[in-house]
Each structure stands twice: as C-alpha cells, then as structure tokens.
C-alpha cells in the first residue's frame, strides 16, 4: 500500500499506464478509500473546452485527513464533486470505497458538507440533522437518538428545536457537519466548510473538527484555500493548480495528530506551510 501517490505529471507517458492499473486492481478492495488514476474532466462550454481536471492521480487511505488546496479554478471543488458523483469525469478511473463513485453514492458511503450550511429553513435543527436518516427510512425514535448523539458531538446539544435562522453561521455549519455524520458514513467530504466564517470562529471549528476526526476515525477529504487551515488539519496536503486543473504536489504532514492552535507556531508546521506556499507559487501561472 503506497500512502503517498505520485505527483501527477501532465506530460506523462501513456504507456506506463497498464502496469500501474494492474497494481491498482490487485489491492483495490483493501486499498485506498479513494483511488483516482489519470482522472480528467473537461467541460464543453460555448467558449471552447475547459479543462477542469487533467491527469489526476490520487490515493486516499482509510483514516487519513486529506486537504485539497489551490487557487480558485484549480479544480479542487470539482475533484471533490467527482468523488461524490455530483460531476461525471470524462476520462480516467476512480473508485470510492472500492466501487465506482456512482455505487458509492447509492450506498451512501460518504457525507458531504457544502460551502454553505444548506440547512432547510422550514426544518428545526433536529429534523435537519436527521434528514438523511429520514430518507433512509430510519424509525423516528432512532432518528431522535442519533440527532442527540451527533448534535452533542458538534457541541449543539439543546438546540434541537431551534430553527436555522436562530443559529449563528458557525453553529449552522456545525449542524450541517452533524447532518453529514449522523448516518455514520466512512468518508466525510468537506468543501470549504468554514470559508464563509470569520477567522476566530474558523480556528475554533478547526480545533473541533480535529477532535471530531480523532473521535470518529473517519476518512476526511477537505477542500480549502487557506494554507494554515490545510496544514493544521491534514495528514496529507494535495496542492493543485489551475488551467488545466491538476495536482502539482502531495505533501505529507508528519507532525503528531494531537494538534492544538499552538502547533501552528512550531517549526515543523511552518516548514510544511512553506512547502505548500512554494508549491502554490510554482503552480501559479502569472501570464494573466
């Protein structure tokens, strides 16, 4: 099992593909939670094709916390949406939990947290959190129990009967995380969940998220454009670059998992942050 995938090379030799693919097939069932090989997605627009993703190779293992970081337009959200089967790739192979993304979605293998809380305003917090359970046909009693359990987990105990507008933005996003977790998916996909929140709330939620991750042992894929956030949270940082959207570096963070906000002052942290920044700079084209 190779925890660190090869950085993608847009100019790679297609002949090298078969051996790799064979290796992937062999350990597909036990291997990574997410495995992408030469994944690409091209949108056909009126202005010509847009290469949202090109030659993406990626492997995410069980229990990892992986961040996608890059400037806007680098395809990080698109990649997450492809993993979630909300977009269809136009080339390459991808498996999620050992099956194609479509099957993974049908068997509800992942919970998705969007940029906005996307709570339904006519449902109270409890009924928002248990929406997926309702769709899966879980009994009302069990739903109530799960709501309590997961609202406690995100420190929203006691807010069951409140409506979304009665909660702050940070609380709403926590509720949406509880909603993504309540049916216990193995994989948590988060698309800039704290992007709209202020720095202080964001730091706080980052700490909470780390604790949550330690407690639940989920695999987390996290999209962000904040370097400190990515370094602070991740076990592995995937640096992406636009036009075409591609992976330019994959950086493991080998400092310990029990991090606090003070971790951000340590040399190890700064070193990784520096490497991420270098990667972003290298991938950025200044021709525009």
Token pair recorded at residue 287: 């021709």
**81/236 with CB nearer another protein:** 81
The strand pairing partners of 94, in sequence order, are: 36
Q: Which helix (H) or strand (E) holds 53?
A: strand 48-60
User: Cis link prior to 252 (omega < 30° from 0)?
Assistant: no
**122/286 with CB nearer another protein:** 122
- For 143, the 3-state DSSP assignment is helix
Minimum separation from the CB atom of position 236 to another protein (A): 23
Per the listing, tokens 């990667």 go with 279
**183/255 with CB nearer another protein:** 183
Minimum separation from the CB atom of position 52 to another protein (A): 17
Minimum separation from the CB atom of position 181 to another protein (A): 13
**68/269 with CB nearer another protein:** 68
- Report how far residue 172's alpha carbon sits from residue 62's, in angstroms, rounded to the nearest whole number: 28
Minimum separation from the CB atom of position 9 to another protein (A): 32
Minimum separation from the CB atom of position 19 to another protein (A): 35
Q: Which helix (H) or strand (E) holds 126?
A: helix 125-129
- Report how far residue 234's alpha carbon sits from residue 244's, in angstroms, rounded to the nearest whole number: 24
Minimum separation from the CB atom of position 231 to another protein (A): 27
- For 191, the 3-state DSSP assignment is strand
Q: Do residues 71 and 82 lie in contact, with contact meaning Cβ atoms separated by under 8 Å?
A: no
Instruction: Identify the CA nearest to 31 among candidates 1, 57, 9.
Output: 1
Minimum separation from the CB atom of position 107 to another protein (A): 8
Token pair recorded at residue 28: 């597909």
Minimum separation from the CB atom of position 130 to another protein (A): 11
Task: Please report, as ranges, the residues that interact with another protein according to CB under 8 A.
Answer: 84-86, 105-106, 108, 110-112, 114-116, 118, 120-124, 131-132, 134-136, 163-165
**48/121 with CB nearer another protein:** 121
Token pair recorded at residue 269: 């942290």
**132/283 with CB nearer another protein:** 132
- Report how far residue 206's alpha carbon sits from residue 224's, in angstroms, rounded to the nearest whole number: 12
**10/158 with CB nearer another protein:** 158
Q: Do residues 40 and 94 lie in contact, with contact meaning Cβ atoms separated by under 8 Å?
A: no
b/e string for 79-102 if b means 16 or more Cβ within 10 A? Answer: bbbbbbbebebbebebbbbbeebe
**26/106 with CB nearer another protein:** 106
């Amino acid at each position: 099992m190779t925890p660190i995938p090869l950085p993608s090379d847009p100019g790679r030799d297609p002949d090298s593909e078969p051996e790799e693919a064979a290796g992937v097939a062999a350990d597909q069932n036990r291997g990574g939670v997410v495995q992408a090989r030469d994944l690409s997605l091209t949108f056909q627009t009126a202005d010509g094709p847009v290469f949202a993703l090109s030659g993406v190779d990626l492997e995410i293992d069980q229990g990892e916390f992986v961040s996608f970081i890059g400037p806007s337009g680098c395809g990080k959200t698109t990649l997450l949406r492809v993993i979630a089967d909300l977009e269809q790739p136009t080339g390459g192979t991808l498996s999620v939990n050992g099956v194609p993304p479509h099957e993974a979605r049908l068997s509800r293998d992942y919970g998705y947290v969007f940029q906005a809380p996307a709570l339904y305003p006519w449902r109270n917090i409890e009924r928002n959190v248990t929406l997926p359970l309702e769709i899966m046909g879980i009994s009302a009693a069990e739903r109530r129990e799960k709501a309590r359990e997961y609202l406690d987990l995100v420190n929203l105990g006691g807010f069951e009967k409140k409506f979304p507008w009665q909660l702050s933005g940070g609380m709403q996003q926590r509720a949406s995380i509880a909603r993504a977790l309540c049916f216990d998916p193995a994989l948590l996909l988060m698309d800039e969940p704290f992007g709209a929140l202020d720095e202080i709330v964001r730091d706080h939620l980052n700490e909470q998220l780390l604790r949550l991750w330690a407690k639940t042992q989920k695999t987390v894929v996290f999209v962000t454009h904040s370097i400190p956030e990515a370094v602070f949270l991740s076990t592995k940082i995937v640096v992406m670059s636009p036009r075409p959207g591609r992976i330019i570096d994959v950086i493991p963070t080998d400092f310990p998992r029990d991090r606090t906000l003070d971790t951000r002052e340590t040399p190890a942290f700064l070193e990784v942050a520096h490497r991420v920044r270098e990667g972003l700079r290298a991938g950025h084209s200044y021709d525009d």
